[in-house]
A and B are shown apart, each in its own frame.
Chain A
Amino acid sequence: MLVERRWRTRLTKYPAGASPERLLLILAVPALLIAAPWILSDSRLVALAIVAGINAIVLYGLAVLFGLTGILSIAHAALWGIGAYTAGILLRDFGWSFWAALPYAAVMAGVAAGLLGYPALRVKGHHFLIVTFAFGELLKLVLMNGGDFTGRGQGLLILEGVPPAFGLTFTSSESFYFLVIFFLLLTIATVYLLGISRLGRTLRAIRENEDLARSVGINTNAYKIGAFVISGALTGVAGALYLYYLRSVSPELFGAFPGVQMVMMLLLGGSRVLLGPLSGAVIVGFLPELINLDPIESQITFGVLLIVVILVLPQGLVAGTQSRYIWLKRRLVALVRQRPAVTMVESAGWEDGIGELGREDDDDS
């Protein structure tokens, strides 16, 4: 019976029913995000939250490429940098404010990502990974040697903040945080819609078996480049936000190793679950605070954590937690109802939008 249900949910276009857990998440997560500045009393914690939020947007961009399309890239820090530098140069040379420059930052990063996508058509897997690593380092080199246009080693410095819009000012820490949350929620919504859309399904098909996808007539090259562009655009938005938060950016922030950090954050959280990227960013942002580590110790911890997670919970922490939760719930239900629980190992997927939570509720009635 459960097997039938799995088939049914897979074939439906929209996510399976609204279970209590899922509704709870849909309400709780945005609520928590919005309420954070009041929960986090310290302004330093709000600063961490801002950075975590910006990182999360980059991670959602990377998740579109890796989680959905199956292409891993270490170049996303570089794409992030392209977004930041575009916004910065547009402000410095043309006086374009944040709102005016934002679309262009997204476009430039998207175009760069699209260009990066072309080698991906020719080389796969590991080789492409190395290409993205080289891309990251190359970009850092270009930024360093770009003369005064790119500000060389010191990078760019901007003097303005984000101008007011819709009657809201963004000068304080909290208001900037809300700006970031606004874009983050927009990103999550975009990625969710992408995940359940036809485009998302096609990308997933390409991820699972590219040759098969091509044999049924899907133009895999076009779709892959498209995934790159979308991924890049999201990252570019995060870049502009980062520039306006830090007020200055330099090439070191966007090389290959920050790219590795991005991959690490995404893999910690989970690339195929909707809450994965957000969790990864939050964990990496706040774990050092929670267990009181200095920056270097925290990096060591993350390195070790990444190794442990990838070996024990390859789907990421969120998916692992979901599986455990489902397992636990089944056990409890069986205990209460005095009948055996059916154990099935399920992997969380995009099909149900906000992960698998609650799908088995159908048989609880």
Chain B
Amino acid sequence: MIPAHELSERVGQVQRFTRVEIFLQQMVNGLVIASVLVLVALGITLIFGLTGIVFFAQGELLMLGGFTVWFTVAQGGNYFLGIVLAASLLLALGFCLERGLMRFTLESPLNGFIVSLGLIIAFQHIVILAWGALDKGIDRPISALWNVGDVHISATRVFVVGVTALVVVLYFFVIARTRYGRALRSVAEDREVAAMMGIPVRRYITAVFVVGSATAGLGGALLLALFPVNPFIGANFVIKGFAVALIGGLGNVTGAVIAALLLGLVEAMSAGYSPAPQWTEGYAFVLMILILLLRPQGILRGTAGARVS
């Protein structure tokens, strides 16, 4: 809540936005976009790295996470409770999907992709059936507004970026420092040899689906804090998530993070400064096609790599 005397001061300040302020605001926007993208891309890149399946349904999982939180808040629940619920629900869903469906497609990744297409169609329309096709939004869960110098940064944005950063750090830590992470890396590198070494490969694949789904659900929950969600956002985010995962190198977590930051900043700058902002959505596609044509393995090499003729 902004006190009245500050409000009038703030109004006066509006005319005096400096270029630096706008730039910093866009940077923060970029970080927010990058956060959601990275949460989607982490699941995508890990699932592909381990199984070779192009799991397009990841976007729908994000959408489901967002809707779970919206539903919780709409029933009078707390937003943060909603986040926990979303992550848990998506965790369970990821487990069911993997055990129930995706494991039959491990031998044929193309079938896995087609199953994910079926899931997209089914999930999208189940949500439309349940709650309609219109935007669903919630009020800002954290209404604090901070002043850093002359720039106003909303605490919600900091929260979103902060939680994402925490998750990313957690991923890095587990993958790089723990023995589970080492086992994961070896499965990504060579499934058969890893199995021969005694690593329970199927269990790791299940784990990757589970964690990836939960992460996507978290992404949706965080997204809802700032923007409204509708049943169709899955398509948008999955393709950008794939763009990020591809640009960074499929299977490469560091690459995904870097690519997410890159794309997030590009989109924010385009939305803020470009004379033709309606093309903002297109940069992801163009960048992705360029990367696929010029350097298919991504900026930092992916584990599964791309099949280049």
Interface residues, chain A, CB within 8 Å of chain B?
72, 119, 121-127, 129-131, 133-135, 137-138, 141, 144-145, 256-257, 260-261, 263-264, 267, 296-297, 299-300, 302-307, 310-311, 314
User: Are A310 and B239 neighbours in the complex by a CB distance under 8 Å?
Assistant: no
11 other contacts beyond A123-B306, A134-B243, with CB at 8 A cut-off?
A123-B307, A123-B308, A126-B113, A129-B113, A130-B242, A134-B285, A264-B118, A267-B114, A300-B121, A306-B121, A310-B111
CA distance A127 to B129 in the complex (A): 32
Would A311 and B104 be within 8 Å (CB), given that A145-B278, A257-B235, A306-B121 are in contact?
Answer: yes
Task: Judge if B115 is at the interface, Cβ distance under 8 Å.
Answer: yes
Interface of A is mostly: helix
Interface of B is mostly: helix
B17 to chain A, nearest CB (A): 28
- Which residues on A sit within 8 Å (CB–CB) of B276? 145
User: Are B105 and A302 neighbours in the complex by a CB distance under 8 Å?
Assistant: no
- Which residues on A sit within 8 Å (CB–CB) of B22? none
Q: Which residue of B101, B111, B121 is within 8 Å of A314 (Cβ)?
A: B111
Task: Judge if B289 is at the interface, Cβ distance under 8 Å.
Answer: yes
Q: Which residue of A121, A138, A264, A311 is within 8 Å of B121 (Cβ)?
A: A264
User: Would you give 22 A-B contacts (Cβ < 8 Å), ordered by A?
Assistant: A119-B292, A121-B309, A123-B293, A123-B306, A127-B307, A129-B113, A133-B239, A134-B289, A137-B239, A257-B235, A263-B114, A264-B117, A267-B114, A302-B118, A303-B125, A306-B117, A307-B114, A307-B115, A307-B118, A311-B101, A311-B104, A311-B105
CA distance A138 to B121 in the complex (A): 20
CA distance A237 to B48 in the complex (A): 37
CA distance A299 to B113 in the complex (A): 18
3 A-B pairs with the lowest CB-CB distances in the bound complex, closest first: A303-B122, A303-B121, A306-B118
Task: Judge if B246 is at the interface, Cβ distance under 8 Å.
Answer: yes
- Which residues on B sit within 8 Å (CB–CB) of A297? 125, 129
Task: Judge if B54 is at the interface, Cβ distance under 8 Å.
Answer: yes
A120 to chain B, nearest CB (A): 9
Q: Which residue of B110, B122, B282, B308 is within 8 Å of A122 (Cβ)?
A: B308
CA distance A135 to B282 in the complex (A): 10
- Which residues on A sit within 8 Å (CB–CB) of B286? 138
User: Are B110 and A256 neighbours in the complex by a CB distance under 8 Å?
Assistant: no
Q: Which residue of A lies closest to B52 (CB)?
A: A126
- Which residues on B sit within 8 Å (CB–CB) of A300? 121-122, 125-126, 129
- Which residues on A sit within 8 Å (CB–CB) of B54? 126, 129-130
User: Which residues, 92 to 120 on B, are CB-close (under 8 Å) to A?
Assistant: 101, 104-105, 108-111, 113-115, 117-120
From B119, B121, B279, B306, name the one whose CB has the most chain A CB atoms within 10 angstroms.
B121
